[in-house]
Structure 1
Amino acid sequence: MNPTVTAFRVGLARGRIELRQLFTAAPDLIGQFLTPAIALAVLYLIRDRDYADTGMSIAELALPGLIGSIVAFNGLFAITNVLVLDREDGTLLRAKTVPKGMISYFVGKIVASAGSVCAQVVVVLAVGAVIIGGSAFDGPGAWAGFAGIMLLGLLATLPAGAILGGVLEGPRATFLLTVPLMGLVAISGIFYPLTALPGWLQGVAQAFPIYWTGLGMRSVLLPPEAVSVEIGGSWRYPEMVGVLGGWASAGLVIAPIVLARMARHESGSSMATRRDKAMQRAF
């Protein structure tokens, strides 16, 4: 059998194992669902507050954006964090010593990261539909649109996360990364329409996939009249596909280059250097 095909199969199996471990360990489960649970609790408390004259509550308008932010934020951050940590503890170096081990390693991480995001989305969507309502799945087309937005959102963010994981060094760097990412979530119209922000902030938000993934989720989960609160009173599907597709295309081209460079430079001496730097920071 072709060694590359075998490596892909091993990677898929590795991803499934990591997902099973992720969802059977209490600390990991808490880490996965604590923030979405807090967000859902807040939305539940404001479920009776209407937004302007839309006839919909703030919570109903925000729920699809929350789902979009889970896709985009975790697509970026989850794989970034795991790549940085695996370089620190030697996991990546061990994978490098196995023939085609880097292929199976990266396939496994992509499967685990995407599977984790999908599980969070399913749980938040199901719980949100029960305690908040407002979702308007009106047939197979809506479900297909939902799946398409999820796929496009993951393609736009997972490669970008892999690039960040390939260039950042140390857990401190990934911790600092959460600050700008949370800032992007705050200005991306997740919990209130983007039209409420100043024009220059609207422009910044529209350059990144978090806003467009949230917009896509609103377009398939909310009734048609909800479009009145969006920019230009439109879901702007061509722009949505263009921006998310642009991020996906750029990421899929750049990520393999960055990851290959990272793998080439990974060695016992580089790992020891990082450990020494970490010890110096600690003392």
Structure 2
Amino acid sequence: MATLPVTDAAVEKLPRRRRRGLAKFMKNRAAVAGALIVVFVVVIALLAPWLAPYDPIQASFMTVRKAPDAAHWFGTDELGRDVLSRMIWGARASLLAGVVSVGIAVVVGVPLGLLAGYFGRLVDGVISRIADALLSIPFLILAIALAAFLGPSLTNAMIAIGVSAMPRFVRLTRGQALSVKAEDYVEGARAIGLDDFRIIVRYILPNVLPPIIVQASLTVAMAIIAEASLSFLGLGQLPPAPSWGSMLNTAKDFVDQAPWMSIFPGIAIFLAVLGFNLLGDGLRDALDPREL
């Protein structure tokens, strides 16, 4: 079988597309702002032991519900714990829940989507019907049900959120795989005798990664909200360990006496979710193959 010559232009095409995508991303001010917010949240979470001015679980009954001042910038809670320190440590729980949950969804959902899209027929029918059944249940309702079944803990909350988000990646990956497997280079790979596993890993997977990356960044924002919701309901991070959602759960009883207990964790959740959403939108535009 005759082979087509590999030209320098073909070799440099992918790097050029990546450079154009990066340049387009950097020109998007909203996307850059989102990336900066995400980097800020990650740095706060990683450096929590060094950035937190106080022990996040140390109670002090001499400073119960103390308003923000020079000693406690964000005030204290109902047990005299520093709200700023708890928010800094809570960033770890929220970020960990977002990243690990999406990691579970990607690790499970992408391979299932590849199998469904590539092999079709019975495999596609079984996987797609299971995914459709899970998608028929609202995301947060499914996550709450699974978390309640597994029991309250941050680990179980991450598993529940990951399983609830998994069908989205199954459907997305299946659709992309159906499109890619019809391309000429995939047919050529079959013609020269490559087995299905090599075709999926070498030709299908790399071409479905860009939309998966975009979906993952957007799903992290959704997972952060889900973790906060579960913690608010007592199904996520358990006290006294700090979490933005559990802080809101406690603050609901002191909205009139100590509004800062709810304002600052709420702002933190808002900014983190906004950052990941802006980042995801920017990646979607930058990785759009029609504009590269």
Give the TM-score of the pair, scaled to structure 1.
Answer: 0.33
Instruction: Kindly name which structure, 1 or 2, has the bigger radius of gyration based on alpha carbons.
Output: 2
- Whichever structure has more helix as a proportion of its residues is 1
